[in-house]
């Protein structure tokens, strides 16, 4: 099972060692992403699963794709998995910084 988190909770997860993975396509990632994220597109997640640590927050544009990714990782036995609700759109709407 995974947890849906709000942007305000992200720093708590990071302090506890969570890695950030953005599951959008590379062209979307290059247009701006949450600072410190690694890009592993949803379509590549199953073949790149070895790159995903157990403690992870998944991010996409709105929270939909990252929710699917979080569900997949939970099914694969991952225990510390979170989905950033609202994705990068919600992040930016709250005035948070993005990297290009």
How far apart (Å, rounded) are the C-alpha atoms in residues 95 and 83? 19
Out of 34, 60, 61, 84, the active site residue is 60
Burial letters 70-95, b for 16+ CB under 10 A, else e: bebbeeeebebbbbbbbbbebbeeee
Q: Is 99 a catalytic residue?
A: no
Q: Annotated active-site positions, please?
A: 60
């Amino acid at each position: 099972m995974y947890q849906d988190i709000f942007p305000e909770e992200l720093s708590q997860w990071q302090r506890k060692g969570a890695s950030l993975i953005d599951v959008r396509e590379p062209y979307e990632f290059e247009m701006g992403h949450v600072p410190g994220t690694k890009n592993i597109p949803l379509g590549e997640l199953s073949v790149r699963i070895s790159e995903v640590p157990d403690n992870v927050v998944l991010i996409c544009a709105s929270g939909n794709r990252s929710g699917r990714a979080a569900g997949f990782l939970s099914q694969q036995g991952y225990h510390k998995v979170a989905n950033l609700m609202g994705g990068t759109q919600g992040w930016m709407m709250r005035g948070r910084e993005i990297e290009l």
